[in-house]
């Protein structure tokens, strides 16, 4: 079955530093790994995703890396800003399958 774990549960960083959040998954058949950002009281929004045929993907200050052998993937945020403060959810799924299994979320706090 699908089981996604996120670490650490809470992460505090100084503004300008980098933040890294790691997710581990159990289903070796999974091949789609999105990251969602949820600000307080708002809806989750997709910020980046990766498919298993690549090892890394970047979008400005955000990057995701995937290690299929170890079954983990990580979100990297560089030059953090106060607006990066939010809860970040990772998920796993099969590309082309409708279901996603979400982790419990990481609270990221950027200290000005």
Partner 1 sequence: DGGITQSPKYLFRKEGQNVTLSCEQNLNHDAMYWYRQDPGQGLRLIYYSQIVNDFQKGDIAEGYSVSREKKESFPLTVTSAQKNPTAFYLCASSMGTAAGGTQYFGPGTRLLVL
Kindly indicate which of the ranges 11-19, 57-65, 70-78, 89-97 contains the residues binding partner 1, using the contact rule CB under 8 A.
Answer: 89-97
* Closest CB to partner 1 among residues 83, 112: 83
* The one among 24, 103, 108, 110 contacting partner 1 by CB under 8 A: 103
Instruction: For 51-72, give the DSSP string.
Output: ETT-SEEEETTEEEEEETTTTE
Judged by the rule CB under 8 A, the positions of this chain that interact with partner 1 are 32, 34, 36, 42-46, 49, 89, 93-100, 102-105
């Amino acid at each position: 079955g699908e089981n996604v774990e996120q670490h650490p549960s809470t992460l505090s960083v100084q503004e300008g530093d980098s933040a890294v959040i790691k997710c581990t998954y159990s289903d070796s058949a999974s091949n789609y790994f999105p990251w969602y950002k949820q600000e307080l009281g708002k809806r989750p929004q997709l910020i980046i995703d990766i498919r298993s045929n690549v090892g890394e993907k970047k979008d400005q200050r955000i990057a995701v890396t995937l290690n299929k052998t170890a079954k983990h993937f990580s979100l990297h945020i560089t030059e953090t800003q106060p607006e990066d403060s939010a809860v970040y959810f990772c998920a796993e799924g099969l590309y082309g399958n409708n279901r996603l299994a979400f982790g419990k979320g990481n609270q990221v706090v950027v200290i000005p």
